[in-house]
Amino acid sequence: MKKKISVTINGKRHQDEVEPRLLLIHYLREVVGLTGPHIGCETSICGACTVEIDGKAVKSCSMFAVQADGRQILTIEGLAANGNLHPVQEAFWNEHGLQCGFCTPGMIMTSKQLLERNPSPTDAEIRHGIEGNLCRCTGYQHIVNAVRAAAAKAGA
Amino acid sequence: MATTIVKTEKLSGQRLRRKEDPRLITGTATYVDDIKMPGMHHACVLRSPHAAARIRSIDIEAARNHPGVVAVFTGADVESVGPVPCGSSLPGLRVPHHAILAKDRVYFVGHPVAVVVATDRYIAADGVDLIEVDFEPTEAVSDPEKAIAPGAPAIHPEWPDNIAFTYHQEAGEPEKAFAEAEIVVKQRITSQRLIPTAMETRGVIADYRAAEKNLTLWSSTQIPHLLRTLVAQMLGIAENRFRVITPEVGGGFGSKLNVYAEEALMGFVSMKIGKPVKWIESRRENFLCTIHGRGHVDYYEIAAKRDGTVLGLKLKLIQDLGAYHQLLTPAIPTLSVLMMPGLYKFRNIAADIIGAFTNCVPTDAYRGAGRPEATHGVERMMDMLAAELKMDPAEIRLKNFIGKDEFPYATATGLSYDSGDYAKPLKKALDIVGYHNVREEQRKARAEGRLLGIGMSTYGEICAFGPSPATPAGGWESATVKIEPSGTVTVMTGTSPHGQGEETTFAQIAADELGVTMDDVLVVHGDTAVVQYGIGTFGSRGTAVGGPALYYALQDLKVKIKKFGELLLESDDVTFSGGMCVCNKTGKTAPLAQIAAASYRAMKLPPNTEPGLVATHFWEPPNFAFPFGAHIVVTEIDRDTGHIDVKRYVAVDDCGVIINPLLVDGQVHGGVAQGLGQALYEQAVYDDSGQLITGELMDYAIPKASMMPWIESSHTTTPSPVNPLGVKGVGEAGTIGCSPAVVNSVVDALIHLGVRHLDMPLTPEKIWKIASGGHA
């Protein structure tokens, strides 16, 4: 039995009929067509599917689409404004905070949240803050550099 | 129109951010699962829950009748498809028939048994749940030493000893060396099974167009061209009507250097249903069914004089192969033997490999592929020898290094090390860590009852795979460079980068040679319909073999550019540099864009002049390249918890000439993370019945950000004489150098408590038992 949901994604309202069992990540990727958030595990460990729901970073594989009814969602695709990269995106690029790029959309969304909660984190706080997002390529060092650089730029 | 500017500043060697990144940081890159096609169906695979069982019957009726399911195939349906290929050949190698779906028997948990095809991925999964398989479980064996012991259950009934092959290599006079040795140290050292865990799992889309007899396969692979050749054979289709596309690939680390059952299976399904079909591996399937790495039990013996001079090295290597051979499974332990002497002057060696079948998923190439195991072994043995002789671990290494004037150096295992100065990175690392001071700090710490350790590894690796005679499928690489009429440049590389950044480094090389900007160069890869045949990205070969191929294609192209420059400038004395041809007599110039336009316009061409500006080069490397380096690790152990704090991690790597230091640092960091994962955290655990206990990311501990130390990375530069760029390869260096340095450090922290050796991973439980006074 499909259920009607209404969700605002990256500032645009979407109304769809979805199966109650449809995961939010599958809704975003397959129904809405936003393939920026990725599926790395479907068990809420890796964080590649991280999006922002009502201002909070959420692993979208750990929610059903019907639970997002009436919410505001921001995905990686909605982060750059008017063709300008978000400072965290720019910092990941400058600092080589990514290699294969698969974890990157989730990592950037989490880093953005981290800096909103703590604008000048220590390295240990950065590492703790992104612990829910796994990266197999970078060893995290350039990601830590990127988050630190984004913080420095915002604070400058 | 491209801006072709005169440049004097060289781009190679600069720390430049990547050209790949804008699509990756904005979520607009296209990985396999991001592709949606009209009429696309979804496949889900039913897999064996048993490590060993007979299949009595399969009932697919309910699945087939489920709304939305369009087809179900079992082993009996796919017998026309050829077996999953093994590309390695060793004398007497036993190769089990590896069907793409099991028919009568299953050999490991995860063994594919049937495939359900449906209109939706959820319905395909429902269909799998509706299949009834009557399995008759039989006895399984998951430990390689138990598998080759008498009385073990036979994995393949035709070979009851479970031995796939044995291999012996010997050089010098090992028996004499050991008989005459003043000291012999022996140790059993394991290198546990690891799960590569690329963040993107595997995925395949197949689209067969019957009217054209064309098959297109999108696959998350490291080897698009080899995959096409081998899957064409499996499916019995024409290679020229078969196109393989690798879109964005989310990491591989060797796990995608393979040909998997699902790649041929999706081709088969699409040919049967006449529609495109997509299969995306779940993380659980990735852990169960994509290759694992390592899986060694090694018995080492080292012979030496009492002054620390090494005389000989013996190795008995038991390789856990798993139930089948994947593409390179049996070849991987032979790489360990090749590299067993490390950086030292061992002239007497003896090695025996026993390849053991087990009821587990096959092992194969995982970052380092045989070399981390070898390096771990020799570097542990050097430390144990030093400890026995009460020598400093740095001193014993410096004493036994191949000298910098001895290159090219012929090793006892038959390799020719290209170039090196092994003392240099070690001395630099000792300097950076402040060796004297940290030893002093260690003395104080011990006096206070604290457990502080200092460990090092000096590693060498065989990279840039490789000369064709030494590889199963050709070891050359290819590049095509095209200059369009407008002057923009397209590079097509036969490598298949998936995170390494060659879209950037190759643009640096091309921009330097042609005198154009980075923005003028586009690097294309991973589409067999667009790019000339290539070998792929693995074995630290992307830049080390693909780079020289590009370099030579550029030289060929420059000859053509100069020729058209001579025509345009009506002079036979012309130089091409800085993006333009200059007449050395008149000083008149013709920029590249003008030359390119003229080459295609083709007016007044002299006889036998080929229009256009395109050059292709297939480069066969004359040798491997051999990077090296030194890693030093300082650890402190918490006695109460067994937690290991990595206080310092110093990595000095020599990968030859560096094209982009930012990217090289990234490769080292990532490599170290995987080495540290092996040393401290990761282990694929199968229970005695062959169930994978670490079957999810919840149970298999890849490092998180908080588990990684700060890596103090630096370099020495010894150019490789093997290629004109002087590059050596860096993708695997961090992984190879890391694990012995970490373990040596932890053993050093505990050595005064009587600890001589510890097997990985060094989990807190293991360390706590020792540090709190118990036994390992």
Fold classification of B296-463+624-771 (topology level): Aldehyde Oxidoreductase; domain 4 (3.30.365)
- Which residues in chain B touch residue A36, judged by CB atoms under 8 angstroms apart? 26-28
- Which residues in chain B touch residue A133, judged by CB atoms under 8 angstroms apart? 705
Element (H, E) at B433: helix B423-433
Closest approach of A31 to chain B, Cα-based (Å): 11
| Collapsed DSSP state (helix, strand, coil) of residue B564 | helix
Does residue B2 register a pLDDT over 60? no
The upper half-sphere exposure of residue B456, i.e. CA atoms within 13 Å in the direction of its Cβ, equals: 28
Interchain contact, B666 vs A134, CB within 8 Å: no
Bridge partners of A52, per DSSP, are A57, A74
- Which residues in chain B touch residue A48, judged by CB atoms under 8 angstroms apart? 199
Nearest C-alpha neighbor of B66 from the set B131, B113, B114, B115: B131
- Name the band, by pLDDT with cuts 50, 70 and 90, for residue B214: very high
Tell me the pLDDT tens digit for each residue of B426-442. 999 999 999 999 999 99
- Position B205 scores a pLDDT of 99
Question: What are the DSSP calls for B18-77, one per residue?
Answer: -SSHHHHHTT---BGGG---TT-EEEEEEE-SSSSEEEEEEE-HHHHTSTTEEEEEEGGG
Q: Tell me the two tokens of residue A80.
A: 């750059």
CATH code assigned to B41-138+197-289: 3.90.1170.50
| Collapsed DSSP state (helix, strand, coil) of residue B112 | strand
**DSSP state, residue A66:** G
Q: Which residue has the tokens 């050709």?
A: B474
- Which residues in chain A touch residue B703, judged by CB atoms under 8 angstroms apart? 139-140
Closest approach of A44 to chain B, Cα-based (Å): 9
Tell me the pLDDT tens digit for each residue of B248-276. 999 999 999 999 999 999 999 999 999 99
- For A101, which of B24, B703, B706 is closest by C-beta distance? B24
Alpha helices (H) in B531-659, listed in sequence order: 547-569, 592-601
Interface test with A, best of B16, B26, B712 (most A CBs within 10 A): B26
Does residue B773 register a pLDDT over 90? no
Assess B555–A contact: CB distance below 8 Å, yes or no. no
Q: What is the mean pLDDT of each run of 10 residues along chain A (156 residues)?
A: 97 98 98 98 96 98 98 98 94 98 98 98 98 98 98 88
Mean pLDDT throughout B769-776?
73
Let me know if B416 is exposed, middle or buried by CB neighbors in 10 A (0-12, 13-18, 19+). Answer: middle
In B, residues 283-322, which contact A (CB 8 Å cutoff)? 283
Does residue B4 register a pLDDT over 90? no
Nearest C-alpha neighbor of B695 from the set B289, B322, B364, B362: B289
Q: Which residue has the tokens 């979804």?
A: B42
Parallel, antiparallel or unpaired: strands B477-483 and A56-59: unpaired
Let me know if B606 is exposed, middle or buried by CB neighbors in 10 A (0-12, 13-18, 19+). Answer: exposed
Tell me the pLDDT tens digit for each residue of B334-373. 999 999 999 999 999 999 999 999 999 999 999 999 999 9
- For A98, which of B24, B280, B704 is closest by C-beta distance? B24
* % of chain B surpassing 70 pLDDT: 99
- In the sheet with B589-591, reading across from the earlier edge strand, the strands are B574-577, B580-583, B589-591
- Name the band, by pLDDT with cuts 50, 70 and 90, for residue B776: very low
| Collapsed DSSP state (helix, strand, coil) of residue A1 | coil
- Which residues in chain B touch residue A92, judged by CB atoms under 8 angstroms apart? 21, 25
Q: How far apart are the first and last CA of chain A?
A: 53
Four-point Cα dihedral B414, B419, B422, B424, nearest 10: 180
Interchain contact, A139 vs B670, CB within 8 Å: yes
The residues near B190 (Cβ < 8 Å, ≥ 6 apart) are B296, B297, B298, B759, B760
Nearest residue in A to B667, CA atom:
A138
Four-point Cα dihedral B122, B204, B39, B24, nearest 10: 90
Closest approach of B536 to chain A, Cα-based (Å): 16
Interface test with B, best of A114, A141, A145 (most B CBs within 10 A): A141
Closest approach of A151 to chain B, Cα-based (Å): 17
| Collapsed DSSP state (helix, strand, coil) of residue B432 | helix
ipTM of predicted assembly, 2 dp: 0.98
The residues near B363 (Cβ < 8 Å, ≥ 6 apart) are B193, B291, B292, B293, B294, B295, B319, B320, B321, B322, B329, B332
- For A46, which of B23, B34, B199 is closest by C-beta distance? B199
- What letter represents residue A71's amino acid? R
Element (H, E) at B186: strand B183-191
- Position B218 scores a pLDDT of 98
**How many residues appear in chain B?**
776
- For B251, which of A41, A77, A102 is closest by C-beta distance? A102
Inter-chain contacts counted by CB atoms under 8 A, chains A and B: 175
Nearest C-alpha neighbor of A49 from the set A67, A70, A69, A73: A73
Contact call for residues B462 and B672 (beta carbons, < 8 A): no
Mean pLDDT throughout B318-342?
98
Interchain contact, B27 vs A34, CB within 8 Å: yes
- Which residues in chain B touch residue A41, judged by CB atoms under 8 angstroms apart? 283, 696-697
- Position A155 scores a pLDDT of 83
Exposed e or buried b for every residue in B650-689, given b needs 16+ CB within 10 A? Answer: bbbbbbbbbbbebbbbbbbbbbbbbbbbbbbbbbbebeee
Tell me the pLDDT tens digit for each residue of B728-757. 999 999 999 999 999 999 999 999 999 999
Nearest C-alpha neighbor of B280 from the set B257, B261, B262: B262
Domains B41-138+197-289 and B296-463+624-771 belong to one CATH topology: no
Structural domains of chain A, ranges and CATH numbers in brackets? 3-78 (3.10.20.30), 87-155 (1.10.150.120)
Interchain contact, B498 vs A100, CB within 8 Å: yes
* CA B562/CA B490 separation, integer angstroms: 19
Interchain contact, B198 vs A143, CB within 8 Å: no
Nearest residue in B to A144, CA atom:
B705
- What letter represents residue B463's amino acid? C
Mean pLDDT throughout B110-139?
98
Bridge partners of B209, per DSSP, are B214
User: What is the three-state SS of A111-124?
Assistant: HHHHHHHCCCCCHH
* Domain parsing of chain B, residue ranges: 41-138+197-289, 296-463+624-771, 467-619
Interchain contact, B251 vs A93, CB within 8 Å: no
- Position B8 scores a pLDDT of 57
Let me know if B647 is exposed, middle or buried by CB neighbors in 10 A (0-12, 13-18, 19+). Answer: middle
Q: Tell me the two tokens of residue B364.
A: 């194969």
Nearest residue in B to A50, CA atom:
B27
* Beta-strand runs (E) in B393-493: 409-410, 416-417, 451-460, 477-483, 489-493
Interchain contact, B27 vs A142, CB within 8 Å: no
Pick the CATH number of B467-619 from 1.20.5.510, 3.20.20.70, 3.40.50.2300, 3.30.365.10: 3.30.365.10
What is the CA angle B463-B468-B471, rounded to 5? 65
Interchain contact, A36 vs B27, CB within 8 Å: yes
| Collapsed DSSP state (helix, strand, coil) of residue A79 | coil
Number of H helices, E strands in chain B: 19, 28
Exposed e or buried b for every residue in B548-562, given b needs 16+ CB within 10 A? Answer: bbbbbbbeebbebbe
- Which residues in chain B touch residue A80, judged by CB atoms under 8 angstroms apart? 26
Does residue B1 register a pLDDT over 50? no
- Name the band, by pLDDT with cuts 50, 70 and 90, for residue B774: low
* CA A13/CA A72 separation, integer angstroms: 9
Average of per-residue pLDDT values in chain B: 97
CA B368 to chain centre: 6
- Which residues in chain A touch residue B36, judged by CB atoms under 8 angstroms apart? 30, 33
Q: Tell me the two tokens of residue A49.
A: 């599917």
Q: Tell me the two tokens of residue B34.
A: 């991001």
